[in-house]
């Protein structure tokens, strides 16, 4: 379960990601130890960003958005962003890849 301070960071992150991606943003999913209740003091905040028509420039813009959120919150926690094109995400789910399945089934969609 996420701490209240993390909810503020996630809200800020989602806002900045939406601004960076515009209508290409399909979903933002938080997953990992902070969501699944097993974090320690070194745990990062794992976030999957699913976008349509991913490009190198879009990836750079999304990574910059995450960096700015970390900067604003003194890099606590570190945000680990995984950016995936929506077609690739769907194909990996269909093939049964465990990482994608776990993110889709057990992550928190924002």
Phi, psi of 48 (to 5 degrees): -100, 130
**DSSP SS3 for 101:** helix
Q: At what angle do helices 4-21 and 56-72 cross, to 10 degrees?
A: 150
Q: Which CATH number fits domain 4-109: 3.40.50.2000, 3.30.460.10, 3.30.1490.20, 3.30.360.10?
A: 3.30.460.10
pLDDT digits (tens, 9 = 90+) for 25-80: 999 999 998 888 778 878 899 999 999 999 999 999 999 999 999 999 999 999 99
Please list the residues that pair with 98 across neighbouring strands: none
What b/e string do you get for 17-26 counting C-beta neighbours within 10 Å, with b at 16 or more?
beebbeebbe
The structural domains of the chain, with segments of one domain joined by +, span 4-109
Question: For residues 84 and 54, is the Cβ–Cβ distance under 8 A?
Answer: yes
Per-residue pLDDT at 1 exceeds 60: no
**Stretch 80-101: mean pLDDT, rounded?**
96
């Amino acid at each position: 379960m996420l701490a209240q301070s993390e909810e503020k960071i996630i809200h800020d992150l989602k806002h900045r990601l939406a601004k960076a991606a515009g209508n290409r943003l399909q979903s933002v999913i938080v997953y990992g130890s902070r969501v699944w209740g097993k974090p320690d003091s070194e745990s990062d905040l794992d976030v999957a960003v699913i976008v349509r028509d991913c490009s190198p420039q879009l990836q750079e813009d999304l990574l910059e958005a995450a960096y700015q959120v970390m900067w604003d919150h003194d890099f606590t926690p570190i945000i680990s962003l995984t950016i995936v094109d929506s077609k690739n995400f769907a194909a990996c789910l269909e093939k049964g890849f465990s990482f994608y399945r776990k993110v889709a089934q057990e992550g928190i969609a924002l």
